[in-house]
């Protein structure tokens, strides 16, 4: 499965947030931020936290991309 976080990065840019500011706001570690930046697996709990803190829906932050990971 190839879940990509490009939409999340677009939201951050539109809101004028750096990735570090985003991590602090949501309460995720630098390791989790690195996973997101590399389009790696993060738990549903993390996605839930992002959606709640950023007032977004899952479809606003992730997309499925067919093919190789």
* Contact (CB, 8 A) for 4 and 66: no
Under 8 Å CB-to-CB from 22, ≥6 apart: which residues?
12, 33, 54
For residue 1, the model assigns a pLDDT of: 59
Percent share of the chain, pLDDT over 90: 90
pLDDT in tens, 6-36: 999 999 999 999 999 999 999 999 999 999 9
- Find, among 11, 55, 14, 66, the residue nearest to 36 by Cα: 11
- Protein fold of 3-64: 434 Repressor (Amino-terminal Domain) (1.10.260)
Separation CA 48–CA 14 (nearest Å): 21
Task: Quote the pLDDT of residue 31.
Answer: 98
How is the chain split into domains, by residue range?
Answer: 3-64
Residue 69 has pLDDT above 60, yes or no: no
The pLDDT of residue 32 is 98
Look up the pTM and report it. Answer: 0.88
């Amino acid at each position: 499965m190839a879940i990509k976080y490009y939409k999340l990065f677009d939201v951050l840019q539109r809101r004028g947030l750096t990735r570090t500011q985003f991590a602090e706001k949501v309460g995720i570690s630098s390791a989790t931020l690195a996973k997101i930046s590399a389009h790696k697996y993060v738990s549903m709990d993390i996605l839930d936290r992002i959606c709640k803190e950023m007032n977004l829906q899952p479809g606003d932050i992730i997309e499925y991309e067919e093919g190789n990971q």
